[in-house]
Amino acid sequence: MDGSLIPVDVTGHDSFMPRFHRRKVILVTGGAGFVGSHLCERLIAEGHSVVCLDNLLTGRKENVAGLLDHPQFRFLEQDILNRIDWQGPLDEIYNLACAASPPLYQRDPIHTFRTCTEGVLNLLALARATGARILQASTSEVYGDPEISPQHEGYRGCVNTVGPRACYDEGKRAAETLFWEFGAHQGLEVRIARIFNTYGPRMSPEDGRVVSNFIVQALTRSDITLYGDGMQTRSFCYVDDLVAGLMALMASEVSEPVNLGNPGEFTMRELAEMVLTQTGSSSRLVHRPLPVDDPRQRRPDIAQAARLLGWAPTVPLAEGIARTIRHFAGEPQVVRAREALLVHA
Amino acid sequence: MDGSLIPVDVTGHDSFMPRFHRRKVILVTGGAGFVGSHLCERLIAEGHSVVCLDNLLTGRKENVAGLLDHPQFRFLEQDILNRIDWQGPLDEIYNLACAASPPLYQRDPIHTFRTCTEGVLNLLALARATGARILQASTSEVYGDPEISPQHEGYRGCVNTVGPRACYDEGKRAAETLFWEFGAHQGLEVRIARIFNTYGPRMSPEDGRVVSNFIVQALTRSDITLYGDGMQTRSFCYVDDLVAGLMALMASEVSEPVNLGNPGEFTMRELAEMVLTQTGSSSRLVHRPLPVDDPRQRRPDIAQAARLLGWAPTVPLAEGIARTIRHFAGEPQVVRAREALLVHA
């Protein structure tokens, strides 16, 4: 795929010309993914012109179905490993392109890694060519299985370089390094968000992340899978909060990495019980062995985000989970499974 | 540079055909560098056919001058970012291609990083295509500024992803990840050596590493530069010991990372004083501020290498330093500087 140039021309499209100061032309890579689609919606709602680029490996075009006819929105099916020949203005790039859940990023680990390195280099080159400000969706996985809690930005992490999670963890660490280099030595305006667990509508029901797993299992009355003893903790940020944080970071002058997440900490067992209660499901909890290198604890220190961006999450877990359950109850896969349950009842 | 194919054909060359079981065809990338040139010499001495590939960014053709006319040695000036179209048998690849000292690897940080990622991917593809066993020269820098001493292979390191050393540290971590992936999922025979500080003849006098710095400064009666208080420690392995370790690892069945180094620990001040004593120099010790992210302490735990490879270093520091001083006394740059001292004396 390398080397091919996909031309993107936004000069001739009136809707892609910034008409007044606050309307920007913004590229969102991975824009058809879970977080990306919420970000695209919010940017469009604020009046910006958005090019959403996604290879649809894990993103879904349905996620941006509501935007496809919008005159200021354009969807491009493309991999960031293909260099982009951009014509016209470009104000901002949000790079959210990378599979984010272990079963999906481990499906083609070399592609995952190259997305975070060669793909990132392509986007940094585009930012340099256009003068766009560029934000990298980094991750709490750069902290690996942390020895301290909560994790602050100065913590250097505990990541295994050789193991099944390394293609993602080390890839994301490498992307931060590339961003830092282009910021420090090539004058780019770079932003690095270390995103902690995020949940909400449009999480893929099949990507193996815990919130979507539990909700789908509860709604379809399947067993709810707890790995290990279920006492490992995570902190969960509702997607609207995260999107607000990403936009605040982009608008800031902060080029150092900033944690974005919700510091509220819950065990997997607590989360499972909350989902069972809200769904009224009769699913049972079952235990499976802990996967290799699975972090025991992950919780953001968001003092930097509060101080530098004036940002903090606002949606409580119980409310976010309720909204997410409503979304999943309408997912075709879940609807079909529930209909089958009724047939066999 | 990407994408171009440099053909290497060893099929027509009788000397490159393995004549009996123990003679191998071996590619040494970075073979004109400090460690690489010693490795090439040793492999040739053992009767193997060696292709030495080097972009000469930090390697020097003089380092392999004694091998250029050898019928079983071939030198190729090439960057590993160029894919290699290899024709004929290939038994082993030692990847030593990457600038290794901070001033040199920071000269073009993106090239340094790509050497460790895209360059490594090219070599892994070559290993897959030829069935060659492949060894990566990793580094103690994957441990960063370690919180434990000595460092064992299970220690996950303390590396800053955003800073001037990250292009190398994270690049080398990334290379380990790529090796692991090709070993675990693509059936390659991979070897990963985590090399600690190494010294000896043919270190570049200009690469800013401490042993060469001190010796050149002492021989030319310049001030000897100690960074910080000079109490930070390093462990120094003589290059012949390291080469023996690399070959033992290559010959082993160990695919996990293995530390190679000399656990003898010396402060920078002790090293400076040893060099002053052995050279009889009148140089003064002067202090400079510690560079960003400079590790305070670095010492290998080599229990794994001893247990799995039966390897341990044998050359004491005083003896290795004496041999290295003899080498540097004959370096043209040092000879000229000493002649100038005599003229002005």
Please compute, for residue A68, the number of CA atoms within 13 A of its CA located in the half-sphere on the CB side. 10
Total structural domains in chain B? 1
Give the model's pLDDT for residue B296. Answer: 77
Q: Is residue A338 part of a domain?
A: no
Chain B residues in contact with A158 (beta carbon < 8 A): 156
Q: Which two tokens stand for residue A270?
A: 């607590």
pLDDT in tens, A210-223: 899 999 999 999 99
CATH number at residue A248: 3.40.50.720
Q: Is residue A336 part of a domain?
A: no
Q: Examine residue B201 and say whether the peptide bond preceding it is cis (omega within 30 degrees of 0).
A: no
Q: Is residue B127 part of a domain?
A: yes
Looking only at the bridges linking them, the beta strands covering B224-227 and B233-235 are unpaired
Q: Which residue of B has its CA nearest to A157?
A: B158
**Across B294-299, average pLDDT:** 80
Greatest mean pLDDT among A121-135, A321-335, B7-21 lies in: A121-135
- At A184, phi and psi to the nearest 5? -75, -35
pLDDT in tens, A24-76: 999 999 999 999 999 999 999 999 999 999 999 999 999 999 999 999 999 99
Does B192 sit within 8 Å of A110, measured CB to CB? no
Q: Which two tokens stand for residue B301?
A: 């735990």
Q: Is A144 on the interface with B (CB under 8 A)?
A: yes
What is the nearest CA distance from B194 to chain A, expressed in angstroms? Answer: 12
What is the nearest CA distance from A316 to chain B, expressed in angstroms? Answer: 32
Which among B177, B192, B304 is the top mutation candidate for probing chain A, defined by the most A β-carbons within 10 Å of its own β-carbon?
B177
Identify the bridge partners of residue A25 per DSSP, sorted by sequence position. A49
User: Rounded to 5 degrees, what angle do the CA atoms A21, A25, A28 make?
Assistant: 140
Residue found by looking up tokens 């290497």 in the block: B8
Q: Which residues contact B303 (CB under 8 A, 6 or more apart)?
A: B152
* Domain ranges, residue A155: 5-201+237-260
From the list B17, B19, B1, the residue with the least C-alpha distance to B9 is B17
Q: Is A167 on the interface with B (CB under 8 A)?
A: yes
pLDDT at A110 over 80: yes
Q: What is the 3-state secondary structure (H, E, C) of B259-274?
A: EECCCCEEEHHHHHHH
Q: Are B176 and B136 in contact (CB under 8 A)?
A: yes
Measured CA distances, B316 to A283, B11, B265 (Å): 67, 43, 11
Give the model's pLDDT for residue B206. Answer: 77
Q: Is residue B345 part of a domain?
A: no
The catalytic residue positions of A are: 168
pLDDT in tens, B129-179: 999 999 999 999 999 999 999 999 999 999 999 999 999 999 999 999 999
The catalytic residue positions of B are: 168
Chain A residues in contact with B164 (beta carbon < 8 A): 184
Q: Is residue B205 part of a domain?
A: no
Looking only at the bridges linking them, the beta strands covering A265-267 and A233-235 are antiparallel
Give the model's pLDDT for residue A341. Answer: 83
Chain B residues in contact with A144 (beta carbon < 8 A): 156
Chain A residues in contact with B179 (beta carbon < 8 A): 162
Q: Which two tokens stand for residue A163?
A: 């193991």
Does A159 sit within 8 Å of B177, measured CB to CB? no
- DSSP character at residue B290: P
Across all residues in chain B, what is the average pLDDT?
92
- DSSP character at residue A217: H
Q: Examine residue B150 and say whether the peptide bond preceding it is cis (omega within 30 degrees of 0).
A: yes
From the list B170, B194, B188, the residue with the least C-alpha distance to B93 is B188
User: The dihedral of CA B159, B161, B164, B169: what is its sign?
Assistant: positive
Spatial separation of the C-alpha atoms in residues B12 and A100, rounded to whole Å? 49
Q: Are A259 and A299 in contact (CB under 8 A)?
A: no
Q: Is B82 on the interface with A (CB under 8 A)?
A: no
pLDDT in tens, B13-59: 555 554 444 699 999 999 999 999 999 999 999 999 999 999 999 99
Q: Is residue A122 part of a domain?
A: yes
Spatial separation of the C-alpha atoms in residues A64 and B135, rounded to whole Å? 46
Q: Is residue B39 part of a domain?
A: yes
Chain centre distance of CA B73: 20
Q: Is residue A121 part of a domain?
A: yes
Spatial separation of the C-alpha atoms in residues B286 and B224, rounded to whole Å? 6
- At A133, phi and psi to the nearest 5? -75, 145
**What ipTM score was computed for the predicted complex, to two decimals?**
0.90
